Amino acid sequence: MVQKVWLNSYPAGMPAEIAATPFSSLSDLVEDAIRRFGDKPAFHNLGHNLSFPELGRLSSNFTAFLQSLSNLNRGDRVAIMLPNLLQYPVVLFGILRAGLTVVNVNPLYTARELEFQLKDSGAKAIIILENFAHTLQKVLPNTSIKHVISTQLGDLLPTPKRWVVNTIVKRIKKMVPHWRIDGALPLRRALARGSRTEAKSVKVEHEDIAFLQYTGGTTGVAKGAMLTQHNMLANLEQTNLWISGSFREGKEIAIAPLPMYHIFCLTSTLAFLKLGCQTVLITNPRDLPAFVKELRRWKFSVLTGVNTLFNALMNTPGFDKLDFSALKVAVGGGASVQKSVAERWQKITGSCLTEAYGLTETSPGVCCTPLGTPWNGSIGLPVSSTDVSIRDEEFNELPLWNGEGDIEKCTGEICVRGPQVMLGYWNSEEETRKTLQDGWLKTGDIGHMDSKGYITITDRKKDMILVSGFNVYPNEIESVLMTHPGVAECAVIGVPDERSGEAVKLVVVRKDPDLNEADVLAFCKTQFTGYKRPHHVDFRDHLPKTPVGKILRRELRDEVKDAKDAKD
Q: Which residues are paired to 490 by β-bridges?
A: 508
Asked if residue 38 is part of any domain, the answer here is no
Grade residue 218 by pLDDT with cuts at 50, 70 and 90: very low
Type of residue numbered 184:
A
pTM over 0.95: no
CA distances from 84 to 74, 77, 259, 417, 473 (A): 26, 21, 6, 31, 34
DSSP state of 509: E
Type of residue numbered 122:
G
CA distances from 167 to 128, 172, 175, 188 (A): 18, 7, 10, 16
Beta-carbon-side half-sphere exposure of residue 240 (alpha carbons within 13 Å): 21
Domain boundary among 177, 204, 231: 204
Dihedral sign for Cα atoms in the order 295, 296, 297, 303: positive
195-224: average pLDDT: 86
Q: Which of 214, 236, 270 is nearest to 102 (CA)?
A: 214
Grade residue 188 by pLDDT with cuts at 50, 70 and 90: very high
Residue 398 near residue 391, CB atoms below 8 Å: yes
Beta strands in 34-188, from DSSP E residues, in sequence order: 41-45, 48-51, 77-81, 101-104, 125-129, 147-151, 185-186
Taking only the tens place, the pLDDT of each residue in 287-313 is 999 999 999 999 999 999 988 899 999
How far apart are alpha carbons 491 and 267 in whole angstroms?
28
Is pLDDT above 50 for 217?
no
Domain boundary among 159, 185, 204: 204
Alpha helices, DSSP H, located in 353-502:
429-435, 474-481
- Beta strand 353-358 with 536-540 is unpaired
Asked if residue 95 is part of any domain, the answer here is yes
Residue 204 near residue 23, CB atoms below 8 Å: no
Q: Which residues contact 431 (CB under 8 A, 6 or more apart)?
A: 217, 219, 221, 223, 425
The percentage of the chain sitting over the pLDDT mark of 70, rounded to a whole number, equals 99
- Which H or E run contains 138? helix 133-139
> Would you call 526 helix, strand, or coil by DSSP?
helix
Grade residue 465 by pLDDT with cuts at 50, 70 and 90: confident
How far apart are alpha carbons 81 and 251 in whole angstroms?
30
Assign residue 318 a region (left: φ > 0; alpha: ψ between -120 and 50; beta: otherwise). left
Asked if residue 10 is part of any domain, the answer here is no
Asked if residue 318 is part of any domain, the answer here is no
Q: Taking every pair of C-alpha atoms in the chain, what is the biggest distance, in angstroms?
A: 73
Residue 216 confidence (pLDDT): 60
Type of residue numbered 185:
L
233-256: average pLDDT: 93
Write down how long the chain is: 568
Taking only the tens place, the pLDDT of each residue in 362-376 is 999 999 999 999 999
Q: Which domain holds residue 531?
A: 465-567
CATH number at residue 553: 3.30.300.30
Residue 491 near residue 338, CB atoms below 8 Å: no
Asked if residue 84 is part of any domain, the answer here is yes
Is pLDDT above 50 for 471?
yes
Q: Which residues are paired to 489 by β-bridges?
A: 509
Is pLDDT above 70 for 220?
no
Asked if residue 500 is part of any domain, the answer here is yes
Is pLDDT above 50 for 461?
yes
User: What's the total number of domains in the chain?
Assistant: 2
Taking only the tens place, the pLDDT of each residue in 131-160 is 999 999 999 999 999 999 999 999 999 999
85-105: average pLDDT: 98
- Which H or E run contains 489? strand 487-497
Is pLDDT above 70 for 568?
no
How far apart are alpha carbons 316 and 314 in whole angstroms?
5
Domain boundary among 174, 204, 234: 204
How far apart are alpha carbons 527 and 46 in whole angstroms?
46
How far apart are alpha carbons 516 and 291 in whole angstroms?
32
Residue 308 confidence (pLDDT): 84
CATH number at residue 121: 3.40.50.980
Assign residue 38 a region (left: φ > 0; alpha: ψ between -120 and 50; beta: otherwise). left
Is pLDDT above 60 for 242?
yes
13-40: average pLDDT: 95
Grade residue 528 by pLDDT with cuts at 50, 70 and 90: confident
Q: What are phi and psi of 562, to 5 degrees?
A: -65, -40
Asked if residue 156 is part of any domain, the answer here is yes
Asked if residue 126 is part of any domain, the answer here is yes
239-264: average pLDDT: 92
Is pLDDT above 80 for 209?
yes
Is pLDDT above 60 for 219?
no
Q: What is the mean pLDDT of the chain?
A: 93
Is pLDDT above 80 for 463?
yes
Q: Which of 207-211, 337-341, 456-460, 470-474 has the lowest mean pLDDT?
A: 470-474
